[in-house]
């Protein structure tokens, strides 16, 4: 069952990439930045409770943001290479 879920998630991820393109990564990245800011602001109100949980959450969101930026960079590079291949003179 879990394999079917993974296949479905992989398909949905690929479909969103295909239909939305780099905006998909931008939207996810913006969401992660907003969540990180929200967590940092929230930590100011609850400075004494759950410091470790807060730090783990911020680290997780930062890693997810790093992943999204890397995927966006790969997508942009693939588009740039395709564009260069189309404009290169044929031999």
Give the count of domains, the chain: 1
- Domain that includes residue 64, residue range: 21-87
Residue 32 lies in a domain: yes
| Residue range 3-45, pLDDT digits in tens | 888 888 888 888 888 888 888 888 888 988 998 888 888 776 6
Please report whether residue 44 resides in a domain: yes
Residue 77 within any structural domain of the chain: yes
pLDDT of residue 91: 60
| Residue 89: count of CB within 10 angstroms of its CB | 4
| pLDDT for the residue numbered 39 | 81
73 domain-assigned: yes
In a domain, 8, yes or no: no
Q: Which residues of 28-54 are buried (b: 16+ CB within 10 A; e: fewer)?
A: bbeebeebbeebeeebeeeeeeeeeeb
C-alpha torsion angle, residues 5, 11, 17, 18 (rounded to 10): -160
Encoded tokens for 80: 């740039």
Domain for residue 4, yes or no?
Answer: no
Residue 46: DSSP 8-state: T
């Amino acid at each position: 069952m879990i394999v079917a879920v993974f296949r479905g998630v992989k398909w949905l991820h690929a479909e969103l990439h295909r239909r939305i393109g780099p905006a998909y990564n931008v939207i996810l990245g913006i969401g992660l930045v907003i969540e990180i800011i929200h967590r940092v602001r929230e930590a100011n109100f609850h400075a004494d409770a759950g410091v470790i949980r807060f730090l783990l959450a911020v680290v997780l969101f930062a890693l997810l943001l790093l992943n999204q930026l890397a995927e966006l960079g790969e997508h942009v590079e693939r588009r740039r290479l395709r564009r260069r291949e189309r404009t290169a003179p044929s031999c």
